[in-house]
Amino acid sequence: TQLLEQSPQFLSIQEGENLTVYCNSSSVFSSLQWYRQEPGEGPVLLVTVVTGGEVKKLKRLTFQFGDARKDSSLHITAAQPGDTGLYLCAGAKETSGSRLTFGEGTQLTVNP
C-alpha cells in the first residue's frame, strides 16, 4: 500500500508552460519534503514544509502543504528544460522515527 500518492506519474510539457504536481495521502504527516532527482544521481532536497497551510517559494517553484497536513502540491511557473527530472514527495511522521515515506514520483520533461 502506497501511503503517498503522486499525480501525474508522467508529465511532458513545452518550455514556458505552468504545471502542478500533487502528493496525496489519507495519513497526517508532521512534515513533508520535496526532492528532485536527475538521471544518474540521487535525489536532492528542494524544500521542507511543516505547518498546515504553509506556502514556500523557491524561485519559480511554489510548494504548499495542505491545511490538514495530508497533502501537498508543487507548482512550477514558466517551466524550463532545466526543470526536467523526477520529483519525489516524502512524508515524515513523529511515530516513524527517522523514516520517510516516499511517493512514486512524477517524471517531468520540459521540451525546448
Partner 1 sequence: DVKVTQSSRYLVKRTGEKVFLECVQDMDHENMFWYRQDPGLGLRLIYFSYDVKMKEKGDIPEGYSVSREKKERFSLILESASTNQTSMYLCASRQGGASYEQYFGPGTRLTVT
Q: What is the contact surface with partner 1 in residues (CB under 8 A)? A: 2, 4, 9, 31, 33, 40-45, 48, 88, 90, 92, 97-100, 102-105
Rank residues 57 and 99 by Cβ distance to partner 1 and give the closer one: 99
Cα-Cα-Cα-Cα dihedral of 4, 17, 42, 93, to 10°? -30
Between strands 10-14 and 106-111, the pairing is: parallel
In the bound complex, what is the minimum distance in angstroms from residue 112's beta carbon to partner 1?
A: 25
In the bound complex, what is the minimum distance in angstroms from residue 78's beta carbon to partner 1?
A: 27
Which residue reads 505547518 in cell numbers? 51
